[in-house]
Structure 1
Amino acid sequence: MRRIAIVGAGSIGCLLAARLTTTPAEVTLVARPRAAEAIGRDGITLATPLGRVSRVPIRVTDDALSAGRQDAVFLCVKAHALGGALDMLASLSGPETAVVPMVNGIPWWYPLGQPEPLGSYRLKSVDPDGTLWRAIPADRLVGSVAWVSVEGDGAGRIRHVDDQRFVFGDPLGRRTAAVEGVVELFSLAGFQARGSLDIRSDIWTKLWGNLAFNPLSALTGATMGALCVDPGTRTVARTLMEEARAVAERLGVRSAADIEARIAAAAAVGDFRTSMLQDMEAGRRLEIEAIVRAVAELGALAGVPTPTVETVAALVEMRARQRGGGPAGLAA
């Protein structure tokens, strides 16, 4: 892949921009005007897990049209912000452009090619009016799962806390040149990248942790390590994972991951503030729909009760409303 664009200058977008710039690809970061100005002036300041700090010059713009057509576009925005990125995506895309949404939770394309009743279903929690389904061609999608912990500290300043694994796969389970190209690109950047013929299983394995720890951290203000150590929150996290596993299994997903092993892996990250906790503290909208509500929606479709998931969703939504709200009481 010769030309790639990264839409979104949050923690993940900046990490990808800084690392992928070391590859032969021509990388353009598309950001909001204020962030584009700061990053254009100062570059991206990246602190590594080993404590090394570097400043990386980046090609950045707030005008997607000026960047031209790309071989791949990485959408590094929250799931609820994807609709707002569609104009930028259209400016960056040609008929062969691979589209890689780097989002947490259940993606809007999840029902694509699945058996009924899922196959014809449209996820209201993440794509309520079908905008994403209509706007992004299914044959250009590359599904992704990011196993990486990154914290942001202002425009273009990030701390890479832990891990650097990425999984990519075609939503229809095919071996495609787009998936192979993205895996090769990330490998050249020094990431641990692999392709998957069952990307939905990988999504659920990652979602276990997001579902369990993101909303609990937003509710309590605790880091991931603290949530794993405390007996009460550890029990709630395990129950959330068990409900999610039951939904996934009813939908035909089989995962070799073990819940206790997943919790232990989260505990090993230590005092990391989850992305939802970072958003709560910064007054940003929370990823409740894709990470929590979508699991409950799929559970209802599959006939699997998810009482703890629904309880936690209601609590974190109330917490967000109490903090100050935008649409539906959630911070904008």
Structure 2
Amino acid sequence: MKVALIGAGAIGCLLATRLGDAGATVTLLARGTPLDTIRRDGISLITPRNRVLRSFPTVTDDPLEPGPQDVVFLCVKAYALRGVIDSLHPLLGPETIVVPVVNGIPWWYPYSQPAPLADQPLTSVDPGGVLWRTVAPERIIGVATYVAVENHGPGRIRHINDQRFVFGDIAGRNRPQVKQLVDLFGKAGFAARATDRIRDEIWVKLWGNLAFNPLSVLTSATLGTLCNDPGTRGVGRTMMLEAQAVAERLGIQFPITADERIAMAATIGDFKTSMLQDYEAGNRLELEAIIGSVIELAGRVGVDVPTLRSVLALTDLRARTRTYPPGIAA
């Protein structure tokens, strides 16, 4: 299988290493320092068992170089997706599928859904509907990822815990490409499965992120601490219940309870959430995709979400007024 990965962050490097080891022909599209570093030194991956894996995938900044692919993974932050669309199109052949590996509510979410979604783009994650108009939804396969990975610099990552991937067609169709992805990820050592209700899985993943990612920025605490401290656990649980009320108005069926989802997150332990990692690195935060999108959906279905609104306001202010470590420019 010919696989292209757009984005050389933690997830992109993890997939480039593991899928390449599973026999896929992998091309990693990167820019700037990550491109130069991976070309020179390859990728260094520390596994959960403290093994060090090295890989040297094909890496390029020219999307014309690889040619059409079987699958393209978009491994960039949700707010950066519009900036990589020009890189996507040269990789597309007639049968190419696109898998956005993104946090939060993805831009494709309203596709083929009844009112109040009804194919109406979400302004929080796709202002102006740019992604909606330029990436054919028929190509997209959704994925919910449960992977704790730390970025230790360009091409250097540590896989902390968890390695589950759930794939599903965004219109619930029975497509052979979904099984092909599950098989490929299984060969790569991931726990992968298929579902015909991918939006349910998106919400289960989002449930934890929308609560504990922003709380980690506000407190600088690790995921294990947030889940086990009675105060932050209570705030996070309230946020999750508000989000559940929104999701259920949209027909989502949660297979577990909020408390069970918190327990899942707690097993990861003293891991800095991706949002806290971004905050400490001086990077932009994915607040709109992870919380703003839920607030926008709440408005569409008429559900009040006061705690989500308050936490978003606090986290946004903290991000805008942060002080930067030496060597990081605002």
Shorter-normalised TM range? over 0.9
Partner in structure 2 of residue 42 of structure 1: 41
Q: Deviations over 1:188-209 (max 9, x none)?
A: 1111111110000000001010
Which residue of the partner structure matches residue 112 of structure 2?
Answer: 113
Residue number in structure 2 paired with 1:303: 302
Q: Which amino acid aligns with 1:142?
A: I
**Which has the higher mean CA deviation after the structures are superposed, 86-95 or 155-164?**
86-95
Provide the residue aligned with 2:177 in structure 1: 178
| Counterpart residue number, 2:136 | 137
Deviates more, 1:249-258 or 1:271-280: 249-258
Q: Corresponding residue for 1:328?
A: none
CA–CA distance in 2 between the matches of 1:205 and 1:88?
A: 30
Amino acid at match of 1:32: R
User: How many angstroms does 1:231 deviate by?
Assistant: 1.3
Query: CA RMSD of the aligned region, Å?
Result: 1.3
Q: Give the match's secondary structure for 1:218.
A: helix
Bigger shift: 57-66 or 272-281? Answer: 57-66
Aligned pairs, number = 326
Q: TM-score, normalised by structure 2?
A: 0.96
Query: What is the CA–CA distance in structure 2 between the aligned matches of 1:19 and 1:199, rounded to whole Å?
Result: 23
Letter in structure 1 aligned against 2:144: V
Match of 2:239 in 1: 240
In 2, the alpha carbon distance for the partners of 1:88 and 1:169 equals: 24
Task: Name the structure 2 match of 1:125.
Answer: 124
Give structure 1 regions of 4+ aligned residues with deviation exceeding 4 angstroms: none
Partner of 2:32: 33
Corresponding residue number in structure 2 for 1:285: 284
Q: Separation in 2 of the partners of 1:128 and 1:62?
A: 26
Separation in 1, partners of 2:283, 2:145: 21
Name stretches of at least 5 consecutive residues in structure 1 with no aligned partner.
Answer: 326-330
Query: 2-side partners of 1:22 and 1:116: how far apart?
Result: 44
Give runs of aligned pairs for residues 64-83 of structure 1, distance below 5 A.
Answer: 64-83=63-82
CA deviation map 1:126-184 (0-9, x unaligned): 00110000010011001011111000100010000001100111110111122122112
Pick closer, same or farther for the CA change 1:162–1:239 going to 2, 3 Å: same
Q: CA deviation at 1:43?
A: 1.0
Percent identity between the aligned chains? 58
Other-structure match for 1:18: 17
Once the two structures are superposed, residues 35-57 of structure 1 have per-residue CA deviations (whole angstroms, 9 ceiling, x without a partner) of: 11111111111111111112222
C-alpha distance in 2 between matches for 1:4 and 1:297: 34
Distance 2:14 2:119 in 1: 36
Tell me how far apart the structure 2 counterparts of residues 223 and 99 of structure 1 sit (CA, whole Å).
32
In structure 1, distance between residues paired with 2:269 and 2:227 = 9
Give SS of 2:148's match.
strand
Structure 1 residue aligned with 2:56: 57
CA deviation vs aligned residue, 1:271-310 (integer Å, no higher than 9, x gap): 1000000000001110001100000110110011111111
Task: Tell me, in whole angstroms, the C-alpha distance in 1 between the residues paired with 2:132 and 2:145.
Answer: 22
Cα offset, 1:33, TM superposition: 2.8
* Cα displacement (A) at 1:14: 0.4
Task: Describe how 1:252-267 pairs up with structure 2 within 5 A.
Answer: 252-267=251-266
Q: Which amino acid aligns with 1:31?
A: A
| Structure 1 position 6, deviation (Å) | 0.5
Deviation at 1:34, TM superposition (A): 1.7
Counterparts of residues 262-277 of structure 1 (less than 5 Å): 262-277=261-276
Instruction: Compute the displacement of 1:65 (Å).
Output: 1.3
Task: Give the Å deviation of 1:249.
Answer: 0.5
Residue 249 of structure 2 is aligned to residue 250 of structure 1? yes
Displacement of 1:63 after TM fit?
Answer: 1.3
| Distance in 2 separating the partners of 1:298 and 1:145 | 19
SS at match of 1:323: coil
**Aligned partner of residue 66 in structure 1, secondary structure:** coil
Shift of 1:259: 1.1
The residue matched to 2:158 in structure 1 has which SS? strand
Q: How does the TM-score come out when normalised to structure 1?
A: 0.96
1 CA distance for matches of 2:229 and 2:190? 32
Match runs of 1:314-329 below 5 Å:
314-323=313-322
Residues in 1 aligned to 2:244 and 2:250: alpha-carbon distance in whole angstroms: 10
Q: Where do residues 196-215 of structure 1 align in structure 2 (5 Å cutoff)?
A: 196-215=195-214
Give unpaired runs (5+ residues) of structure 2: none
- Residue 324 (structure 1) shift: 6.5
